[in-house]
Structure 1
Amino acid sequence: MTDQAKSMAHDLGYLPVTTDRVGKMCTLVGGQMTNYLIRFAYPDRQALWVGSAEEVNSCVTTTNGTVVSNSYIGPSITAAYRTGTWTLLPPKDPCDPATGRRGQDEQMVPDGAIKVLVCRDKQSGSATPHPSDGVQHGQQQARELAAELNSLKAEPGGNTCRETGDGRREMFLLHFGYAEGPPAWVRILSRCRPSVNNGVLVGDLNDALLDRVSRLAPPA
C-alpha cells in the first residue's frame, strides 16, 4: 500500500500505548483469529514491524515490539488487507469506546479537547452495555471535565471492576474530541473500584465528579 503508508502510520501513531502490563476483561468466545504483520519500509532500507490480529473477542493488542496498545484495530487491518485501502473504522455506535488517543498513558484526558460527548448506559449493570444517544458539549465543559478527570490519582490498569456498596450502578462513556486526530474516551462506572478508566489508566471518582457527569449526560 505505497500511497497509504503515511495515512496508516499517522493513525497507528495516534494509538494510546504503554510499556506496562495492563490487564483487561475479555470475553472467551471461540472463533477464528487472523494474525497480521505490517512492515513499514523507510528510504534508508530500515523497516518497522507492527503486529496485530482480528479475532471474535476484540481483545488482542497491537505492538511494535517496544510499546503495546490495547486499542482494537483488527477489522481495519483486515479491510486494508482485502482492499488495499486504509481507513481506521469508527465504532458502530458513537457512544462505544473508540481506539483512544496518544497520551492517555500519561493523562486520563490529553490536553487540547474542544468538545465532549457524554453518554449514559441505558441498562446499567447489565452484562452487555446499551449506551444511550449522547449529549454533545462544547470546549468549556470539555476542558473543565478533563481537568477534573486529570486531577484524580491515576495509575496503570485495565477495564476491571470490583463491586462496592449497594444501589444502582451507573455507567457513563465520555468521548473528548480534538481539532485534529482521534477522540480520547473515558469510561466511568459508579459502585466500582476502580471507577474510572481510559483503557490504560484507572482511578476513582468522587461525588462531585459523578454529579457533574450525571448532569451532562442524557436523562436516566
Structure 2
Amino acid sequence: MNLRHVAVVVTAICAATVLTSSSANSPPTVLASCPQQWGGRHAGGWVPAAGQIDGVGDYLVPGRPVTAMICAYPGDNTRKGGERLAGSRTLTGDAGAMARDLGYLPVGTEEREVMCTLMGGPMTNYLIRFAYPGGGGLWVGSAEEVNGCVRTTNGTVQSHSYVGRSLTAAYRTGTWRLVHPDDPCQMPGERRGQDGRMVPDEPISVLVCRRATRAGERDPRREHDRRTAGPLAETLNALDAGGKEILNEISCDPADWFDLLFGYAEGPPVRVSIVVGCDRGIDNGFLNAALDDALRDQIIRLAPPG
C-alpha cells in the first residue's frame, strides 16, 4: 500500500489542527489493518467492531496491550462522516502507559448530557488498535475537535472525557503522554468513580482555585496537602448528592466560584466546582449537591483571597 501524507490546516476561532509528516520524526506509515474510511457520523464515538477483551465493559482499555496503532482521519466538523485515512503510527513501548491513562477515564453505556460550543473548525477522528499478547485486539475510537465535544468508545462503553490533543501529539511523535494545560486550575479533572462519589479514591492534595473576575487573568490558587484533602473529600462524599443537573440562571445567581482539584499519587485529578449562590452549588460533572453555610465558609477559608 502506498504511503500517503496529508496536511490539514484549518483556522478556527480558537484552534487549528495541522497533520503533516514533517511534524514527526518519521512519516506515519499506513498499515493495511486501518479502515480506509471513517465509518461514524460524529466526532469520535465509532469503532469497526467491539472488542472481546475481558474488562471492556468496565474500562476503555483493559489489561496490558503491547502495541497501539493510531489511524488518523482528518476533516472538518461542519462535514462529518466519510473522512479518509491519512496515515497511521504504531506505539510500542508507550502502549501500556496509553492504556493506563485511558483506563482512568470515567465510562458508561448511556449518553451523558454535556454542554458543547458550536464553532466550526478542524476535526481529526482517530482509531487506536491495541494489540495484546496472544493475538487479541481492541479498537478505540476518539477525535480531536475544535470544541472538544467528542465521544471516546471501545464499542461497549464510552467516555466524554477529552483526550484529543494527546492523541494528535502521539500520532505526530510516536510517543504517548497526556497533554495538560499550562495552568493547573484549567485541568479537566475527570476520573473513574465520579459517578458514584463526589471525590473517589484517596486524594493526597487539593488545589483550591478561585475563578478570576476579569477575562485573561489567571485564577488565584492555594494548594493544601493530604491533611486537608482527605477530610474535605470525606465531607463532600457525605453529602446527599444526586444526578448531574446543568446549573442555569433560573436556579443560580453565582456570587463566587471555586474549583477544587483533588490530586492523587497516580492518575488524573478530580475537579469539584463550588458555586456560591446556586441551589445545587456543588458539582463534579456527574453528581451535584446543595451547598450549606458551613461548607461554604470552609471553602472560603481554604481559598486564596478574592
CA RMSD in angstroms, aligned pairs only: 2.1
Please report the TM-score for the alignment, with normalisation by the length of structure 1. Answer: 0.89
For 1:62, which of 140, 147, 152 is the aligned residue? Answer: 152
Q: Which protein has the larger Cα radius of gyration, Structure 1 or Structure 2?
A: 2
- Give the 3 Å change call, closer, same or farther, for CA 49–203 of structure 1 in structure 2: farther
Q: Secondary structure of the equivalent of 2:181?
A: coil
- Correspondence for 1:83: 173
Q: Mean alpha-carbon deviation: is it higher for 4-13 or for 44-53? A: 44-53
Which residue in the other structure is 1:188 paired with? 274
Tell me what 2:303 maps to.
217
More contact order relative to length (CA 8 Å, sep ≥ 6): 1
How many positions carry a matched residue from both structures? 216
Aligned residue number for residue 17 of structure 1: 107
**CA apart distance, 1:115:** 0.9
Q: What are the equivalent positions in structure 2 for 1:115-130 lying under 5 Å apart?
A: 115-123=205-213
C-alpha distance in 2, partners of 1:157/1:206? 18
- 2:28 paired residue number: none
Q: Which runs of 5 or more residues in structure 2 are unaligned? A: 1-90
The one-letter code matched in structure 2 to 1:132 is: D
Q: Deviations over 1:39-59 (max 9, x none)?
A: 111123221111111111112
Distance 1:31 1:166, change over 3 A: closer
Asked whether 1:34 is paired with 2:121, we answer no
Give the structure 1 partner of residue 134 of structure 2: 44
> Which secondary structure state, in structure 2, belongs to the residue aligned with residue 7 of structure 1?
helix
Give 1:170 shift: 1.5
CA shift in 2, pair 1:112/1:218, >3 Å: same
Match in the other structure for 1:171: 257
Residue 151 in structure 1 maps to residue 238 in structure 2: yes
Report the residue type matching 1:67 in the other structure: V
Structure (1/2) with the larger helix percentage: 1
Question: C-alpha displacement at 1:167, in angstroms?
Answer: 6.1
| CA shift in 2, pair 1:190/1:26, >3 Å | farther
> Mean alpha-carbon deviation: is it higher for 162-171 or for 187-196?
162-171
- Could you tell me how far 1:34 is from its partner in structure 2? 0.9
d(CA) in 2 for partners of 1:89, 1:166: 33
The DSSP-based 3-state class of the residue aligned with 1:27 is coil
Runs of 4+ in 1 over 4 A off after TM superposition: 128-131, 164-168
Deviation at 1:199, TM superposition (A): 2.2
The amino acid that maps onto 2:293 is: D
Offset, 1:165: 6.6
**Structure 1 spans left out of the alignment, 5+ residues:** none
Counterparts of 2:107 and 2:280, CA distance in 1: 20
Instruction: Give the CA deviation at 1:71.
Output: 1.3
- Kept in 1, the 8 Å contact 2:107–2:192? The answer is yes
Cα offsets for 1:159-205 (capped at 9, x unmatched): x2123578652111111111222211111222334322222222222
* Residue 93 (structure 2) pairs with residue 3 (structure 1): yes
Match of 1:205 in 2: 291
Q: Is the Cα–Cα contact under 8 Å of residues 212 and 220 in structure 2 kept in the other structure?
A: no
Separation of aligned partners in 2, 1:40 and 1:196? 37
User: Mean Cα displacement is larger for which, 72-81 or 168-177?
Assistant: 168-177
Mapped partners of 2:99, 2:251: distance in 1: 45
Structure 2 vs 1, CA of residues 215 and 95 (structure 1 numbering), >3 Å: closer, same or farther? Answer: same
Give TM-score scaled by structure 2 length: 0.65
Using the aligned pairs only, state the percent identity.
Answer: 54
CA distance in 1: counterparts of 2:223 and 2:304, whole angstroms: 10
- The 3-state SS of whatever aligns with 1:119 is strand
